[in-house]
Amino acid sequence: SYFLTQPHSVSVAPGKTAMITCGGNNIGSKSVHWYQQTPGQAPVLVIYHDSERPSGIPERFSGSNSGHTAILTISRVEAGDEADYYCHLWDTTTDHYVFGPGTKVTVL
């Protein structure tokens, strides 16, 4: 099975930049997606295919993926960005989907 790692939590001050990492063996060769989930709500797609942003998602959200780490970057963080963030990919070895354990972003 393919495993993904994420930091349990990230804290950031308003207006600053939050970087959430997603680690996996040679993850740079895979297509990574990111979801935002606020309490009591369904997850929402914020980045797909490493760095593409769905319509309606602010430009403050960006993504990158290389080597063994994918990164979700949130610029000019706002209070409304406080949420859990999950990375996600398709494991071609097993033909199964995999989620990272999630990162809780706290806005100070």
Partner 1 sequence: QVQLVQSEAEVKEPGSSVRVSCKTSGDTFSSYSITWVRQGPGQGLEWMGGIVPIFDTTNYAQRFQDRVTITADSSTGTVSLEVRRLTSEDTAVYYCARAPRYGGGWFDPWGQGTLVTVSS
> Mask 19-48, x = binds partner 1 (CB under 8 A)?
------------x-x-x-x----xxxx--x
- Candidates 19-27, 58-66, 67-75, 80-88; binding stretch for partner 1 (CB under 8 A): 80-88
- What CA–CA distance (Å, rounded) separates 81 from 100? 19
Residue 37 CB, shortest distance to partner 1, in Å, is 8
State the residue for tokens 């990164």.
71
- What CA–CA distance (Å, rounded) separates 42 from 107? 20
Interface residues with partner 1 (CB under 8 A)?
Answer: 1, 31, 33, 35, 37, 42-45, 48-49, 54, 84, 86, 88, 90, 92, 94-102
